[in-house]
Structures are given as C-alpha cells and as structure tokens.
Chain A
C-alpha cells in the first residue's frame, strides 16, 4: 500500500516522519479531514481556532498531494 505523510501546520509546524499506509488518495483525503477535525476540536477546547490552519499530505517521494484546512473540514455557522 502507498504511504502518505500527514504534516500539521497550526501555530507551529509538526512534521510526520513515519506516515501511514492508505489504499488510495481518496482514503488519504478522508484521513486528512478526520485529522483536521480532531486538531480543530483540540484547538477549540483550548479556547481558540484558526480556520486557515491545515493538514498537508505528502507521498513517499515527498510530493505534496493535498491539503485540508480546518475551515474545509468543518461546516461553520456564525
């Protein structure tokens, strides 16, 4: 299975050095959305949220294959 790496860009950059196997890009996208939601929720629990923060996914060659912002991952109503 191809391996994808999920890097977090919020207040700081956290690189994923280990990655995880996903059957395809769509699966990697679903995982990235779930991660963005989890990290957004963690941020909300601490009393703040920046919808421009994002999860960036790269493939085994280090090429960026997709990004998901916290705003993309969560339906927000004012």
Chain B
C-alpha cells in the first residue's frame, strides 16, 4: 500500500480501533474506537476497492462509505452467524478489520501506481461561524442532556407493590418485598401468614419513594408434601382495616402446569 497514504491510514486505524474495542474495558473509549470501525472504515475500504483509480466527488464518497458500512454490518451478521463462535466482540472486530484490510489491499492494487489525489477544497470558517457552530453544538448537547434528566411529576399517580416468591428451589424460605413508588414517604403494615405456625408475622414499615424493603422469611418444616399457602398482605398504616395489596405463593404447590 506504499504510496497510498489514505489506505494505509485506514488499515492502521482499523487495527487500532479493533484492538481497542476488543480489549479496553472502558465503554467511553470503546465507543470512540468502535464508531469509525463499524460506521466508516468498512464502507470506505469497499468504496475505494470498487472505484479503484476513479475519484468520486466528496459528498458521494461520504454517502457511499457510510451506506456501505451500514450494509456491511447488516450482511456480516449473517456470515458471522454461520461461524461456530457467532456474533461476539472478537468476531465482529476481526471481521471488520479483515474487510478494511482486504478492501484497502484491493484498492491499492486497482489504483496501481501512486495516485495523486486532487487537492480537496479547504473549508474557510470565520471566527463568527465557529462561535455559531459551537453554540449550536452546545444547544444540541443541552437538549439531549435535558432529555436524560428526570423531573418530579406531582400529577402522576404513585403506587406501591407487594411481591412474594419462594427464595430458592428448596422452598425453605420465602422472599417478600414491598416497593414504594408513591409520591411521598408512606407507612405500611405488612403481615405474612402461613410461613410459620402461630400468629402471622407483622411489621410496620416506612418507605420513601423509590425505596424497596425485601427480606427472606424462613419457612417452618412441613409435614409430608401438602401444599402450604403463604400470604403476604399490605395495609396502609393510615387505614389498617382495608387490605391494600396481597401476594401469595404456594409451597409444595402443584407443578403440573406443563
């Protein structure tokens, strides 16, 4: 690829990006490496290979490089799926690097001797333009950042959830949880009966919005294989007479559904 600086650069960039994407654990760094590797370089190499010595004008070249990268990603998945390892980080990185290396190699061969690239027109930006573009960029980032922020929504209706599950397959305990998605802190009375002989377990809990209380409740040893119903009930502390939520599970219950 001697004499074809753009192709050499593409190959080096693909190898470096592939290594970074496959090895580096930091997501932000991988994003920076993976975007050109996935969305630009394969298409660039394919277009260069296809057109060889012919020079496309810049907009068409950009479009085809981008589009062929997208097309490569769409089609390469089918190829990787046929391989034993399937679609993994390593196989994707390898395949994309191979596409770039092969494409660039073919392009170099097709171009033949050193091709003198016509001088690309320079972009002339005034200071005012730079300020305006920077302002536009800041506003766009602010708009997207604002969309990530979650604000209080006092008009929406909060709720609370009660759940119960056997904590494991041996069913020696049940896991019980209360999730508060109320707008304000709320107090509840939680009772669980059926897990142990005697009076039901009773707890008063106060939860802030977004808070979850969960605990494992050991179950008393059962005689024989009779199904045993465990019932968790939740009451609002301010209205203890009225059942608010109820969750149940059967220990040793029938598993004949299938």
Partners in one complex: no
Which A residues have a C-beta under 8 Å from some C-beta of B? Answer: none
Which B residues have a C-beta under 8 Å from some C-beta of A? Answer: none
